[in-house]
Amino acid sequence: MLLAVDIGNTNILFGLFSENTLIFKGRISSDRKITAEQYALEIKGIVGLKNISLESVIGAVISSVVPELTSLIKEAIAILTGVDAIVLGPGVKSGLPIKIDNPAQLGADLVAGAVGAIDKYGAPCLVIDLGTATKISVIDASASYRGCVISAGVGISLNALSGAASLLPVIDINSGSCPVYGTNTVSSMQSGIVQGTAAMLDGMCDKIEEPLGEKDITVVATGGYADAILPYCNRRIIYEPELILWGLKKIYDKN
């Protein structure tokens, strides 16, 4: 089996592949205060809930946007499996031409997501990641990475509203249908965050198509907030919750 791990600012997503099938995925919190041994125990415990053994893991691959956690997770994987994990970065073959000002600055999660989207849906395409930050990756017709849009994520926006304005409460955006405009404080905040983010995604996808010279480009989305936002988008957007894990698997195969 292959163990694929995506380390984000909020969560660490991991999955187990048996050949080309994702047989398990789990999620743990990104905690900078715990040790590699504690991470190993968490991963082993979650996988054990499904009675899956890690003894048959023969390879591992990591993407990370949290450098201080990368070595801890790599060590945890070595403790659990004895495998020296590949860490996505310079020197690792991704098969993705990166045509931005400084290719080394491109986040490993964005590389993996782009590789996964191209493999599943071809190019050109846009890849939306609704995580800690909201990101839109631009893949042109030659399957090259051309650039990205980055804005404050849903969670950051919610925390900023309730934290900076005394009369605005902490709210749940997953509490049922969301109105276009609200009739009370909570529904008005839900509208601004959910409908506002959906409208931004629709509008940015339209705008990106112009310089690319494309129409009705394929749009793929992933990330923890995707299921809350995508139902309110006007564009057809394909939801792929395991997109980054799939991209990591394809990158591992190349290496």
Residue 160 and residue 216: Cα distance in Å, rounded? 34
- Which one-letter amino acid corresponds to residue 106? L
Q: Which residues pair with 214 in a beta bridge?
A: none
Contact present, 145 and 139 (Cβ < 8 Å): yes
Annotate 131-199 with three-state secondary structure.
CCEEEEEEECCCCCEEEEEEEECHHHHHHHHHHHCCCCCCCCCCCCCCCCCCCCHHHHHHHHHHHHHHH
* Cα→Cα distances 172→16, 24, 123, 176, 177, Å: 31, 28, 36, 9, 12
In this prediction, residues 218-227 reach a mean pLDDT of: 96
Distance CA 47, CA 233 (A): 34
Is there a contact between 135 and 243 (Cβ–Cβ < 8 Å)? no
**Tens of pLDDT, residues 89-116:** 988 999 999 999 999 999 999 999 999 9
pTM for this predicted structure: 0.92
Which residues are marked as active site? 109
Contact predicate 72/39, CB 8 Å = yes
pLDDT at 206: 96
Span 122-153, pLDDT tens digits = 999 999 999 999 999 999 999 999 999 999 99
Strand duo 218-222 + 2-7: pairing: unpaired
pLDDT surpassing 90 at residue 120? yes
pLDDT band at residue 221 using 50, 70 and 90 as cut-offs: very high
Fold of the 103-243 domain: Nucleotidyltransferase; domain 5 (3.30.420)
* pLDDT number for residue 223: 94
- Contacts for 174 with CB less than 8 Å, ≥ 6 apart: 228
Q: What is the mean pLDDT of the chain?
A: 94
Buried b (16+ CB within 10 A) or exposed e, 150-164: eeebbbebbeebeee
> Do the domains spanning 2-87 and 103-243 agree at the CATH topology level?
yes
174 or 29, greater pLDDT:
29
Residue 176 pLDDT > 90: no
What's the rounded mean pLDDT across residues 203-224? 95
What is the residue extent of each domain of the chain? 2-87, 103-243
CATH number listed for the domain at residues 2-87: 3.30.420.40
